[in-house]
Amino acid sequence: MKRAFLPTIFAILAAFSTAAAAAPKTVTLSVPDMTCSTCPIQVKKALSAVSGVLEASASLETKEAVVIYDDSKTNVEALIKATAGIGFPSTVKK
């Protein structure tokens, strides 16, 4: 019991610290192929389906998608892969 005490404390602290580090991040993707009226809805659905994405929206006028995601669960590459996976190649807007 005593031997497991300190490692347990550290494990709990470590768990809390990762939770604190999981900050929501926002990224804007440029999706030039969103030309049809329903395309932004498709992109939004595909992005929302990625685990770790908190919010996604897309615009037909600007051809961009804004994604708020938990960067401990997913990353920009996964988002780009998600849009490319339904036929919409995308890049991070600089």
Partner 1 sequence: MGHTKQDSRRLLDSVLGYGLINEGMAVSVSAKERVLGFLRGTSSSSSSAKNGRGALATGGLAALLGTACCLAPLVLVSVGLGGAWLSNLRALQPYQPIFIGIAVVALVFAYMRIFRPAAECRPGDVCALPGTRRGYKMMFWIVVGLVVLTLGFPYAAPLFY
Contacts with partner 1, residue ranges (CB under 8 A): 33, 35-42, 44-46, 49, 57-60, 84-88
Which of 15/32 has CB closer to partner 1? 32
Give the side-chain half-sphere CA count within 13 A for 59.
Answer: 9
**Closest separation in Å from C-beta 86 to partner 1:** 4
Shortest reach from residue 54's CB to partner 1, in Å = 17
For 63, phi and psi rounded to 5 degrees? 55, 40
Least Å from the CB of residue 58 to partner 1? 6
Q: 8 or 26, CB closer to partner 1?
A: 26
Q: What's the rounded Cα separation, in Å, for the pair 71 and 57?
A: 17
Indicate the pairing of strand 24-30 with strand 91-92.
antiparallel
